[in-house]
Amino acid sequence: MTLDTVISGCVVYYLESSDGLDNQRLTIVKDCLRDLDDLTTELETDCQPYFLRLRELGEMLLRVQSTS
């Protein structure tokens, strides 16, 4: 699976679940963010904005989950 598929799947799960993300999905999002950190610096400049926005989406998901 690709990072964007995994993160967007967690977003959909969060939006459709009254309980928010479970511990497994929280760990998955955190792992994806670490992968994005490693990947982003290696990308060509024109590709970086997409992955930076994807990272921001993952961060927002973790932030909103922690306030729920």
User: Could you tell me the residue ranges of all domains in the chain?
Assistant: 3-67
- Per-residue pLDDT of 54-67, as tens digits, reads 999 999 999 998 87
Q: Write the CA distances from 54 to 12, 18, 19, 28, 47, integer angstroms.
A: 14, 23, 23, 14, 11
- Per-residue pLDDT of 9-45, as tens digits, reads 999 999 999 889 999 999 999 999 999 999 888 889 9
| Cα–Cα distance measured from residue 52 to residue 23, given in angstroms and rounded to the nearest whole number | 24
CA nearest neighbour of 51 among 60, 41, 61: 41
| Cα–Cα distance measured from residue 29 to residue 2, given in angstroms and rounded to the nearest whole number | 12
pLDDT at 34: 96
pLDDT at 40: 85
pLDDT at 4: 94
DSSP 18: S
In this predicted structure, the answer to whether residue 47 has a pLDDT above a threshold of 80 is yes
